[in-house]
Structure 1
Amino acid sequence: MSTTVAEAGAINGEDAMLAADAFARMAAGVGRVAHCAPATVRLILTAFATGGHVLLEDLPGMGKTTLARALAAVTGGSVRRVQCTPDLLPSDITGVTIFNERTREFEFHPGPVFANVLIVDEINRTSPKTQSALLEVMQERQVTVDGTAHPVPRPFLVVATQNPVDLEGTFPLPEAQLDRFLMRLSLGYPGEEAELSLMRNAAPAAPETLDPVLDGSEVARLNAVAEQVIFADPVYDYVLRLAQRTRRHTRLRAGVSMRASIALCRAARMYALADGRVYVTPDDVRALVGPVWGHRLVPLSGIATAEESAVLLDEVLAEVPVPGPHENRR
């Protein structure tokens, strides 16, 4: 068995350090071709290892597709891409059943969703009917066509992109769709040195040239190890109080759901493991509140922008007392 990720079981320091080493090597690989902040790379790797999906909101040309392809490369997975347009059909994503005249039988022809990483470009430019084709597969890791369920490969990650500025002719994602994404992230502009390097290098390294760090089975074992990371009761209580505060916020029509609280706890375990720790701290929770909860808030004015969500969550974090350091491991 590979020593990259230890077998599932009781968490110990050696397991955590092996996992942290795997995360560091994956992050180094992604960072060689995707020029974005290390904190963003750690977040998207956390989402992938946790089994969560990511919504990337950014302007065109910021490297969103390159980041997703690099993620597939370091995990040895397959990657497919869908360019969303108003006339895109659900079957263009999930696949279709076609009658074979030679065999006189119906055959299922899988769509691009059957990949380890599915890139859905400009998801808000396709119709709500086509958007909803992703609901089942994002939650249950399968698609049902003509009454037959077809499981997708594991691990499976949807990386959807949308432009937060150019909204003409778009269809905003409904709350049920947004809730399927573990995180909403923004890459932002690269630093000066990174942008100069990109400008000077006419032929940057392709994501497909990266060496795999983990395979699918090792990602599953990594997830199993993360489940053993200690989550102390005071930290659970901290997450609960933060969630309850969003539900009582005067500028919110609806706070975060129970699914959002569970998602934050799962992501926090993996986030701590990526740092080589066997326990979750309130700082892990605070680092993940924005990416995991921001897109799930429902303000009185409608769907929250990333900027509005950040302001509201900063208020929530400021109002809820943080557990002391001595409480994190009990």
Structure 2
Amino acid sequence: MTAQYIGSTTQAPTMTPAEFHAATNAIVGNIERVIEGKTSIVRLALSVLLAEGHLLIEDVPGVGKTMLAKAMATSIDCTVRRIQFTPDLLPSDVTGVSIFNQDTHEFSFKPGAVFANIVVGDEINRASPKTQSALLECMEERQVTVDGATYPLQTPFMVMATQNPIEMEGTYPLPEAQRDRFTARVAIGYPDTKAELAMLDVHGTADPLADLQPVVDSTTITRMIQTVRSIHVSDAIKQYAVALVTATRQSSDLRLGASPRAALQLLRTARAVASFENRDFVLPDDLQNLAVPVLAHRVLPTSDAQLARRTTDAIISDIVRRLPVQTDRRR
């Protein structure tokens, strides 16, 4: 079966609203063929891709974390590599290694699994901290340095990593520096009764991923990213984003607030969400709706907050609720 791509023949750097809407619906609809009843999660995952970020999917086993990552990767006709993180995985397995060639008497570079458009990291917190840290340069600078030589990664580039809750046996908490490089963290959650019954019908006899076909190509994704970049962000919205991250640093419930990188990625993701709504500008509502998935995994609660069983999601939600909204009618 030949895949039919949306918008793959147009060379314009940006897309019209109709083209963007068609491509978005094609990707979301394709993923929802295997992920039932999780439209908001699917759209957020796509927003992170178009914001040129990385996605961390955290939840208990069996709810479809890897299925979501694979479905996203399969929906785009681009290079995809999967890394199964285990305690014995080495950093060189991720980034690559220089091998001595006996014929030429020179070292040649063998690329690791990270050299792809979409990298699916399964159960990332089962690898050692040393191996987890191998992704730091890749995710931030989109390059790999091995033995003093730097190798650029492909464009577009996205890491979609899954992890089990840190209370699960055999897991290692992600370092703060690596969590900060993930644009957003999502939890899929259990499906509702209707979706779970539908899953039993669809998944009970065959693997739906086997029949999934790409609906867009990497050129279309690049054009969609360029369209998202063109979305206008007013000075008032920028000030509101900075106020949100500043409030996390001043909260008595947090011992580590959000970084400046968090404010930048909050705005980038908000641009993508605005594009989905056929708007060419960002609203305060976009930042409010994204505050928890973009900020909560970057902050650390105080010991008192932990004793009170306050989650970072709840703390960020309280900050959003209390912080005055700044608007600019001129946009």
TM-score calculated relative to the size of structure 2 = 0.90
How far is the alpha carbon of 1:100 from its aligned partner? 2.0
Q: Do the aligned partners of 1:7 and 1:225 also contact (CA within 8 Å) in 2?
A: no
How far is the alpha carbon of 1:328 from its aligned partner? 5.2
How far is the alpha carbon of 1:170 from its aligned partner? 2.4
SS of the residue corresponding to residue 215 of structure 2 reads coil
1:241 to 234, 240, 243: 243
Letter in 1 for 2:144: V
Which whole-Å CA distance do the structure 2 matches of 1:122 and 1:224 have between them?
Answer: 31
How far is the alpha carbon of 1:99 from its aligned partner? 1.6
2:213 to 202, 211, 214: 211
- CA gap of 1:307–1:47, structure 2 versus 1, over 3 A, is farther
Which whole-Å CA distance do the structure 1 matches of 2:223 and 2:241 have between them?
Answer: 26
Q: Do the aligned partners of 1:126 and 1:170 also contact (CA within 8 Å) in 2?
A: yes
Which whole-Å CA distance do the structure 1 matches of 2:258 and 2:166 have between them?
Answer: 25
Fraction of identical pairs, as percent: 43
What does residue 317 of structure 1 align with? 320
SS of the residue corresponding to residue 23 of structure 2 reads helix
- CA gap of 1:203–1:113, structure 2 versus 1, over 3 A, is farther
Structure 2, unpaired ranges of 5+ = 1-5
Letter in 1 for 2:226: A
What does residue 224 of structure 2 align with? 222
Q: How many residue pairs end up in the alignment?
A: 323
Larger CA deviation: 96-105 vs 177-186: 96-105
What does residue 3 of structure 2 align with? none
Which whole-Å CA distance do the structure 1 matches of 2:11 and 2:195 have between them?
Answer: 35
How far is the alpha carbon of 1:156 from its aligned partner? 1.3
Residue 96 (str. 1) matches residue 101 (str. 2): no
SS of the residue corresponding to residue 216 of structure 2 reads coil
1:1-330 aligned at under 5 Å gives the runs 3=7, 7-8=12-13, 15-164=16-165, 166-201=167-202, 202-207=204-209, 209-301=211-303, 308-323=311-326, 327=328, 330=331
Which whole-Å CA distance do the structure 1 matches of 2:329 and 2:283 have between them?
Answer: 6
Q: Do the aligned partners of 2:245 and 2:258 also contact (CA within 8 Å) in 1?
A: yes
SS of the residue corresponding to residue 55 of structure 1 reads strand
How far is the alpha carbon of 1:282 from its aligned partner? 1.2
Which whole-Å CA distance do the structure 1 matches of 2:175 and 2:199 have between them?
Answer: 36
Which whole-Å CA distance do the structure 2 matches of 1:290 and 1:82 have between them?
Answer: 27
Q: Do the aligned partners of 1:64 and 1:187 also contact (CA within 8 Å) in 2?
A: yes
Which whole-Å CA distance do the structure 2 matches of 1:276 and 1:309 have between them?
Answer: 31
- CA gap of 1:145–1:169, structure 2 versus 1, over 3 A, is same
How far is the alpha carbon of 1:122 from its aligned partner? 1.7
Q: Do the aligned partners of 1:35 and 1:63 also contact (CA within 8 Å) in 2?
A: no
How far is the alpha carbon of 1:233 from its aligned partner? 2.1
Task: Give the RMSD, CA atoms, in angstroms.
Answer: 2.4
Letter in 1 for 2:160: V
Which whole-Å CA distance do the structure 1 matches of 2:22 and 2:257 have between them?
Answer: 36
Which whole-Å CA distance do the structure 2 matches of 1:188 and 1:239 have between them?
Answer: 28
Which whole-Å CA distance do the structure 1 matches of 2:311 and 2:144 have between them?
Answer: 35
SS of the residue corresponding to residue 36 of structure 2 reads coil
Letter in 2 for 1:211: Q
How far is the alpha carbon of 1:270 from its aligned partner? 0.8
Question: Which stretches of structure 1, 4 residues or longer, exceed 4 Å deviation after superposition?
Answer: 2-6
Letter in 2 for 1:279: F
Q: Do the aligned partners of 2:58 and 2:165 also contact (CA within 8 Å) in 1?
A: yes
Structure 1, unpaired ranges of 5+ = none
Which whole-Å CA distance do the structure 2 matches of 1:155 and 1:36 have between them?
Answer: 28
Which whole-Å CA distance do the structure 1 matches of 2:123 and 2:303 have between them?
Answer: 23
Which whole-Å CA distance do the structure 2 matches of 1:154 and 1:70 have between them?
Answer: 19
How far is the alpha carbon of 1:169 from its aligned partner? 3.3
Q: Do the aligned partners of 2:253 and 2:305 also contact (CA within 8 Å) in 1?
A: no
Which whole-Å CA distance do the structure 2 matches of 1:109 and 1:120 have between them?
Answer: 19
TM-score calculated relative to the size of structure 1 = 0.90
SS of the residue corresponding to residue 97 of structure 2 reads strand
Which whole-Å CA distance do the structure 2 matches of 1:91 and 1:61 have between them?
Answer: 29
